[in-house]
Structure 1
């Protein structure tokens, strides 16, 4: 399992090419051969960059869903909408397709933020807004999510 660390600012050019920070490049080096999957996030107006091995783990779970149940089929369609396979070029850039740039409102200033095993790609202003809004509720959220469990249960 991949364990990515860090939040970094970078820029996207007019064609949607994004220069990945050298710190992320180092962490992603062992995964470059397999490539990545880029998709719309489910809960936020950002993109998610999955190393291929992480994407395959998610797909194993999704492939177990019964497609003759309408809500499962609807979920699969929405979850995979706009999914693209992307590669990092020799310069350390990833090309974000126009439809995904539009979804995440990515223009020039971008934030790459680790979310354990994936990287979230945000428009910088949108990222700052979401982080600021979440600050007020974070203590309650942390207590609710992490406070009622033993550390042993998390492993």
Structure 2
């Protein structure tokens, strides 16, 4: 399992290739040759980049769902919609497939944001809006999520 750190701004070129920052590539170096899976995010208009190892772990969870339950089947279809395998090219860029780029509204300015074990890929304007929107109630959210004393008892 990999734990990524940082938020990085970069640009997408006319073909949809995104150049990753050297700091982020350095963190990915141990797994960069394995390839990655890119997909639509579930809750936000952004993309998620999984290492192959992280994707395999996620698929273990998804494969436990009973496919004869309609809501499970609907979830699987939506969760895996547009999933693609991507790799870094020799110049250190990742090509964002056009359909996924359109889903995330990626134009030119891109934000790569570490989200623990995956990377979120955002159009910069959408990222700033999501951060601003979340800031309004972040204190309440932090208290609700992290202020749970039961979590301390679990460790």
**TM above 0.5:** yes
Measured in 2, the distance between the counterparts of 1:152 and 1:97 equals: 44
| TM-score, normalisation: structure 2 | 0.97
Q: What whole-Å deviation, never above 9, does each CA across 1:50-106 have from its counterpart, x for those lacking one?
A: 011000000000001110111111000000000000001121100001000100000
Structure 1 stretches of 4+ with a deviation exceeding 4 A read: none
Equivalent in the alignment of 1:151: 152
Offset at residue 34 of structure 1 (A): 1.1
1:48 corresponds in structure 2 to 48
Q: Distance in 2 between matches of 1:142 and 1:111?
A: 23
Q: Give the Cα–Cα distance (whole angstroms) in 1 for the partners of residues 22 and 89 of structure 2.
A: 13
Greater displacement, 144-153 / 47-56: 144-153
TM-score, length of structure 1 as denominator length: 0.97
Q: CA deviation at 1:33?
A: 1.7
Distance in 1 between residues matched to 2:137 and 2:119, nearest whole Å: 23
The number of residues matched between the two structures is 154
RMSD over aligned Cα atoms:
0.9
Task: Give distance in 2, aligned partners of 1:43 and 1:134.
Answer: 13
Q: Does 1:138 align with 2:126?
A: no
